[in-house]
A and B are shown apart, each in its own frame.
Chain A
Amino acid sequence: METGAIRISYFAKLRELTGCSGEKMEFPQPTSVSALYQTLQNKYGGLLDPELIAFCVNDVYVSPEHPIRSGDHVVFIPPVAGG
């Protein structure tokens, strides 16, 4: 794992809870995508239960343990409801 700058996008309920559609973030320690979500839960005071969230990096669904790399675009996917 490495450290560096990443881009995060928020959609739907997460956009409302964070109050923004996205942000850039430096991560000083190597981290996984689920650990990053936990960091953001602390920052924003809750967000959605991680059990409800799917993780997406660079337009691909990934596992919660997926390591974040510098330059990644991370999206946390709330429960989907198309159709």
Chain B
Amino acid sequence: MDQVQLVRELIRPPNLSFPMAGAMVSFEGRVRSVCGGKSVVRLKYEAYESLAVKELTRIVVETQKKFPVIHIHIQHRLGWVEVGELAVWVGVWSVHRQNAFTACAYVMDQLKNRVPIWKCEQYEDGALSWVGCDDSPRKQHIHAC
């Protein structure tokens, strides 16, 4: 199974185990019903897929260099995702729990900061909005690397 997956169906977290892993930490990012005070009915994720897979793979490699973890798995949804559904799933296996907690948080921070995936929110009135583009602008943190 690929360690990094962009999926158009429901995310199905893998059932993996590693004999040396005494800890497994996972993070589930779910679509919430309210964002910035507006009622969200669903989201659409779009990706620059070739670069997104490369960046996610780079994040896995970087994380494995920074922290002594055994395995990392990332899945991210694309297309329309309903409220309550998983948008992203990250799992980290390590010998002890602390490295798994820290590495999992690091993966998510990097993913949100630099992976070319975009989120379009649909509100109750049918209006659509690209997060970070249509609302108050925020400075990007992506630089040449």
Q: Which A residues contact B (CB, under 8 angstroms)? A: 9, 11-13, 16, 48-49, 51-56, 59, 61-63, 66, 75, 77-83
Contact = CB atoms under 8 A, between A and B. Distances in A.
Interface in B103-143: 108, 111-120, 130-134, 137-140, 142-143
Most chain B Cβ neighbours within 10 Å, of A9, A13, A53? A13
Measured as residues with beta carbon below 8 angstroms from the partner, the interface class of chain B is 35 or more
Main secondary structure of the interface of B (DSSP, over half): mixed
A7 to B, nearest CB: 13
A41 B46 CA distance: 22
Contacts of B115: 80, 82
A48 B138 CA distance: 12
Contacts of A83: 29, 76, 87-88, 108, 111-112, 117
